A = this chain, B = another copy of it.
Amino acid sequence: MKNLSLLVDLYELTMAQVYFRYKPEARATFDLFVRDLPPGRSYLVAAGLADVLEYLARLRFGAEDIAYLEKLKIFSPAFLRYLRHLRFQGDVWALPEGTVCFAQEPIVRITGSLIEAQLIESFLLNTINLQTMIASKASRVVSACRGHKVYDFSLRRTHGSDAGIKAARSSYLAGFDGTANVLAGKLYGIPVAGTMAHSFVMSFKHELDGFHAYARTFPSRTTLLVDTYDVKKGIENAIKAGLFLKAKGCRLQGIRLDSGNITYLSKLARRMLDQAGLSGVGIIASGNLDEFKIKDLLARDACVDSFGVGTNMGVSIDAPSLDVIYKIAEVTGDDGNFLPTMKLSFAKVTYPGRKQVFRVCDKKGRYLRDVVALEEEKIKGVPLLKQMVKKGKLLCRVPALKTIREFAARDLAGFNEGLRQIYPAYRYPVVISARLKALRENLGNTLIRRQ
């Protein structure tokens, strides 16, 4: 990661200068959470924490950054000197990546100086929004696949290079089997996969020439795209290439269908392949797929062995942003003690105080409900927010991506299986504790008087 310390909104810096002047000792706690689930969605899969922790560890304003800020003629020399030496010294509590979570549950909770906690707002929102959004969408796609393998093909339509790489990581975390994105494969050790493009077939005089050239070059890993021209003839040509490989003691890995009526074509292809003695050749489907289309294909008994899912997952097309916010929950008063606070804006009221999320299980370990409560409350349940950073020091190593992926699958399996249904949305109970509700009510009245 390059130095992204200047990836802030200007107001974070101007507010910081006011704090620097008027209350340099003030400390605060902020919650990052999703206000409401997107329509039709039942849960979120928390992701992005690894990048947040790396960013916080590296946060520093370099000489070049300071020179730019100086040029803006907004900031005082004393503040810029302070900024030059700023390091993140706060505490981070967070849901481990892969945790299934819900609206109103803090995903990341920051306690630190008001300045540092405020400065990191935009990066945290940007990072958790993207990766949680993708992991949540991808998790649904994985459920729809009912055990069939599924690969990330989204790079070309994700929003830029960072999103392309993070879509591969987040979808793998949520249960995808691999990605076509080579850089993501290198960076995260994700298995890479791929077939061929229509342009490949078109660059040969005859479709079969292209198929043979590919099969000869990769005798043990050839998947042939059969819909560049007429699909039935494409399958016939794929069978010729498959028999050629079989004669050499190799196996054609698969054929890919990328357009048309996939249910019909996959059944046709399966029959033709089987009749030719190529029952070991798989069929991969792609082309504008999402969890709804995959569910529908499998409900119609489409003969598809694996799926390539691109744009609809990679941009989370039905929910291309989460309603994720970063809100102050407590701040120190004149005496240095923390006081709960909250926002009262129209339809945007938040919950005050330092919070914890407790997950209540039955005797068999199945999840019954979550309780969002004040941290100090004694709630019978597993506290989900773990301390990751203490006074700027990382307390634990970020787990390997594979470990996170296994944890995510285990966590999802702990819920009633209704949660995994594609449609309609299932409402897992998330309860606000009585004390937290009472605090909000009382505080609301106090704050209005204070204004």
**Which candidate, A141-149, A177-185, A362-370, A391-399, is the interface stretch facing chain B?**
A177-185
Binding site for B on A (CB under 8 A): 2, 4, 6-15, 17-19, 21-23, 26, 28, 30, 65, 68-69, 72, 74, 114, 118, 121-123, 125-127, 129-130, 153, 155-166, 180-183, 185-186, 192-200, 202-203, 205-207, 213-214, 217-218, 221, 227-231, 233-234, 237, 258-260, 311, 315-317, 320-322, 324, 326-328, 331, 333-334, 341-348, 447-448, 450-451
The 8 closest A-B pairs by CB, nearest first: A10-B194, A160-B162, A159-B159, A11-B194, A199-B328, A162-B162, A125-B156, A320-B320
Find out whether the CB atom of A347 lies under 8 angstroms from the CB atom of B130: no
CB distance from A268 to the nearest CB of B (A): 14
Complex Cα distance, B160 from A317, in Å, reads: 16
Complex Cα distance, B181 from A125, in Å, reads: 13
Find out whether the CB atom of B345 lies under 8 angstroms from the CB atom of A198: yes
Known: A202-B342, A207-B451, A347-B259. A186 touches B65 (CB 8 A): yes
Q: Which chain B residues border A118 with CB–CB below 8 Å?
A: 197, 199-200
New contact pairs (4) apart from A10-B185, A72-B192, A159-B320, CB-CB < 8 Å: A4-B161, A13-B182, A74-B221, A198-B328
Find out whether the CB atom of B7 lies under 8 angstroms from the CB atom of A182: yes
Find out whether the CB atom of A182 lies under 8 angstroms from the CB atom of B9: yes
Find out whether the CB atom of A206 lies under 8 angstroms from the CB atom of B451: yes
Find out whether the CB atom of B345 lies under 8 angstroms from the CB atom of A258: yes
Known: A6-B182, A194-B10. A228 touches B321 (CB 8 A): no
Complex Cα distance, B74 from A137, in Å, reads: 31
Max count, chain B CB within 10 A of own CB: residue among A7, A10, A130: A10
CB distance from A41 to the nearest CB of B (A): 16
CB distance from A47 to the nearest CB of B (A): 12
Known: A166-B160, A233-B451. A346 touches B205 (CB 8 A): no
Find out whether the CB atom of B331 lies under 8 angstroms from the CB atom of A202: yes
**Smallest Cβ-Cβ distance to A215: which chain B residue:** B18
Max count, chain B CB within 10 A of own CB: residue among A125, A156, A192, A193: A156
Find out whether the CB atom of A129 lies under 8 angstroms from the CB atom of B156: yes
Complex Cα distance, B12 from A9, in Å, reads: 38
Find out whether the CB atom of A160 lies under 8 angstroms from the CB atom of B127: yes
Find out whether the CB atom of A14 lies under 8 angstroms from the CB atom of B121: no
Q: Contact partner of A343 among B8, B11, B228, CB < 8 A?
A: B228
Find out whether the CB atom of B317 lies under 8 angstroms from the CB atom of A321: yes
Max count, chain B CB within 10 A of own CB: residue among A218, A221, A320, A344: A320
Complex Cα distance, B64 from A210, in Å, reads: 31
Complex Cα distance, B30 from A153, in Å, reads: 20
Find out whether the CB atom of A259 lies under 8 angstroms from the CB atom of B203: no
Known: A6-B183, A18-B214, A196-B11. A203 touches B156 (CB 8 A): no
Complex Cα distance, B127 from A315, in Å, reads: 14
Find out whether the CB atom of A186 lies under 8 angstroms from the CB atom of B260: no
A-B contact pairs, 8 of them (CB 8 A): A9-B180, A18-B217, A28-B203, A130-B158, A202-B328, A228-B343, A229-B448, A260-B347
Q: Which chain B residues border A192 with CB–CB below 8 Å?
A: 10, 72
**Smallest Cβ-Cβ distance to A315: which chain B residue:** B320
Find out whether the CB atom of B195 lies under 8 angstroms from the CB atom of A161: no
CB distance from A176 to the nearest CB of B (A): 14
Find out whether the CB atom of B260 lies under 8 angstroms from the CB atom of A4: no
Q: Which chain B residues border A18 with CB–CB below 8 Å?
A: 200, 213-214, 217-218
Q: Which chain B residues border A127 with CB–CB below 8 Å?
A: 160-161
Q: Which chain B residues border A233 with CB–CB below 8 Å?
A: 451
Find out whether the CB atom of A153 lies under 8 angstroms from the CB atom of B9: yes
CB distance from A167 to the nearest CB of B (A): 8
Complex Cα distance, B229 from A279, in Å, reads: 68
